[in-house]
Structure 1
Amino acid sequence: MKSGSSIWMTGVIPVLAIAMLLVFSRGLRGATNPLEGKEAPAFSLETLAGGTFDLKEHLGKRPVVLDFWAVWCPPCRASLPKVAETVKGLGDADLAFSTVNLGDSPDKITEFLKSKNLEDLPVALDKNREAAKLYGVQSIPTMVLIDKEGKVAVVSVGAMTESALSAALKKLLD
Structure 2
Amino acid sequence: MKRGVFWLIGNELQCFPFDGRINEGIAKSGNTYNHKKLWVHICPKGCNKQFDYYPRGRVEISAKGRAIVYMSPHIGNEYISQLCAAFALDDEPIIKYDYSEHYNCYLDMEAYSLDDNGAGIQFCVYCYNVQPNIGINYADGESWRIIQEPEPVEVVPDRTIMPDTDMSVS
Structure with the higher helix share, 1 or 2: 1
Which structure: larger Rg?
Answer: 2
Name the TM-score class by shorter chain.
under 0.3
Greater relative CO (CA pairs within 8 A, separation 6+): 1
